[in-house]
Amino acid sequence: MQRFDYVKAAPGIYHAMKGLEDYLHQCGLEESLLHLIKLRASQINGCAYCLDMHWKDLKSIGEPDHRLYELDAWEESPFYSDRERAALAWTEAVTRVADSRVPDALYDEVRKQFSEKEIANLTFAVAAINAWNRLAISARITPGTYEAPKARLQKQT
């Protein structure tokens, strides 16, 4: 059962976090890439609400099932581009920063796929989903209630 609602309890900070999300979705990183890293971080953190959300978001933009099913084993799977692999490795390192310290060798690999600005945006995206995971888990937000934006549009027509 959900413990509390952030929008009602702390609307100012919730809207500030939403502003970060709005920026990230306009920063030039691919929409599918953003949702893949959000889904991967949510897998690591065990956030049921965010897993449900980003799975639905990816499906709503046409992401094939096999790429979603294989995400937890992306390193062994042939379904991801070099750019996506770099982003997923970065996501894992930043999510597990206390363990990984985000190694220089990984940064060097990520630089082959992303500009400095893109790495900054990617890192903000990883930091944001980690924050959202912690917020959703702490409040026990109920999974299954989220509707992807394109799914909501289809219902209205």
* 80-96 per-position pLDDT tens digit: 999 999 999 999 999 99
Name residue 156's amino acid: Q
Length of the chain: 157
Which pLDDT band, with edges at 50, 70 and 90, does 153 fall under? Answer: low
Among residues 41, 49, 31, the alpha carbon closest in space to that of 149 is found at 31
Domains of the chain, CATH where assigned: 6-156 (1.20.1290.10)
How far is C-alpha 76 from the geometric centre of its chain's CA atoms?
A: 20
What are the tens digits of pLDDT across the range 89-138?
Answer: 999 999 999 999 999 999 999 999 999 999 999 999 999 999 999 999 99
What are the tens digits of pLDDT across the range 24-47?
Answer: 999 999 999 999 999 999 999 999
136 with 49: CB under 8 angstroms?
yes
| pTM for this model (two decimals) | 0.94
